[in-house]
Amino acid sequence: MMMTNLLVDKAESFIHLYCREMNISTHEKDERLKEIQRDIEITGTYSHTASELQFGARAAWRNSNRCIGRLFWNSLHVVDARTALTKDEVKKALLNHIEYATNDGKIRSTITVFAPREDNKDAIRILNHQLIRYAGYRGENGEVTGDPHSVTFTKFCESLGWRGEGSKYDVLPIVAQINEGEPFYFSIPSSIVKEVPITHRGIPGINELELKWYAVPIISDMKLEIGGLEYIAAPFNGWYMETEIAARNFADEKRYNELPSVADKMNLSTQLSSNLWKDRAIIELNQAVLDSFKQAGVSMVDHHTAGSQFALFEEKEANAGREVTGDWTWLIPPVSPAASHIFHKRYKNTWNSPNFLYQPSFLKSQTEPAPNKKSCPFS
């Protein structure tokens, strides 16, 4: 458990921030601070009001140094799922998130917040990296069918009894734990998983690759930290910027590695790099992804627009008297980075609280026996 006076410190600085930005009177603030101190003294922890939770989650997005989409931080839809404690309740909350956020393509930025860690115990854990993600199967020859990023998790799902069809785009099940018990899984009904077939209006060869991607990226393995409380299960989503799919998920050699096939469909020689076949393939893929999402009516932003929106965010933050922190290496788009104003600036990469943080994978604690837990002869 966190040292209680450390927790008091973190809680206090959050409440100061909250009250300042929400225009809450000094009197009310002092009462709340007293209440929190008392709660921590007696129980070792405290809990956020629904309004504090909403503000905290939004501020965490605002402080996400690697995110170029932060202009919209204040419109994040926050679902308070802290009372969801059973398998059924968790399943319902997660499927609701997918449906609400997807909104038939008009994507709504959403976060569903489950009970925080308490006394070093997790009431709810989610083991997926994203709620919707494609499986990856490594065959005997070492080659992967599907998304290589998912190979370990896919194996884990299979160890639980799940079986996929073995296609390039099998949607993985959701795996969760209640009170750190046995992981359980459930499939997402395909009726609520929106996917976009990728086509190119000028290069029909690209259509033959039968590429597709899911509509909504819902990160589910990061921890939301607000005022010293750790919400270890708090899946959140925005909408895609096209480069994430076209220039990374499809293009990275360690992911779908589609550039050689795209170049082939474009009749480009891949013998010499100096004809810029990779660059040409990347550009056409980006165009195909943008046009396909548009045609399917699914929200997506291109990297130029995202850059302009980030500039507006910087302006608004300056007007509010706040410094924008950022991780330049992540903020610059992977396509034509120098065409963005971000490339020509520097950002301070300090991580303010509230924030979204990486946490050790819960998968690991499942696949490796905990040292000295069962084997210790003295316990």
Among 241, 281, 285, 290, binds ligand ARG (CB under 6 A): 241
Stretch that binds ligand ARG, among 52-60, 241-249, 285-293, 354-362 (CB under 6 A): 241-249
**Contacts (Cβ under 8 Å, ≥6 apart) of 140:** none
Residue 238 binds ligand ARG, judged by CB under 6 A: yes
Token code pair at residue 152: 């370990």
Taking CA atoms, 309 is separated from 72, 119, 305, 312, 313, in Å, by 9, 41, 6, 5, 6
The crossing angle, in degrees rounded to 10, of helices 4-21 and 50-62 is: 90
Under the criterion CB under 6 A, does residue 333 sit at the interface with ligand ARG?
no
Q: How far is the CB of 305 from ligand ARG (least distance, A)?
A: 13
Q: Is 244 a catalytic residue?
A: yes
Query: Nearer to ligand ARG by C-beta: 137 or 239?
Result: 239
Measured CA to CA, the distance from residue 3 to residue 44 in angstroms comes to 9
Q: Name the active-site residue from 67, 117, 277, 314.
A: 67
The window from 77-85, 234-242, 283-291, 312-320 that contacts ligand ARG (CB under 6 A) reads: 234-242
Q: Give catalytic status of residue 239 as yes or no.
A: yes
Compose the 286-325 pattern: x for residues touching ligand ARG by CB under 6 A, - for all others.
----------------------------------------
Stretch that binds ligand ARG, among 40-48, 151-159, 237-245, 257-265 (CB under 6 A): 237-245
Q: Residue 348: beta bridge partners?
A: 325
Residue 240, number of CB atoms within 10 A of its CB: 25
* Interface pick for ligand ARG out of 2, 33, 85, 219 (rule CB under 6 A): 219
Euclidean distance between CA atoms 209 and 56, whole angstroms: 43
Does position 193 bind ligand ARG by CB under 6 A? no
Active site residue 351: no
Choose, by CB under 6 A, the member of 249, 287, 292, 366 that binds ligand ARG.
Answer: 249
- ω into 377 cis (within 30 of 0): no
What distance lies between CA 159 and its chain's CA centroid?
25
By CB under 6 A, name the one of 39, 244, 291, 317 that touches ligand ARG.
244
Q: Is the Cβ of residue 94 or residue 107 nearer to ligand ARG in the bound state?
A: 107
Helices 26-43 & 4-21, crossing angle to 10 degrees?
Answer: 160
Which residue numbers are catalytic? Answer: 67, 70, 239, 244
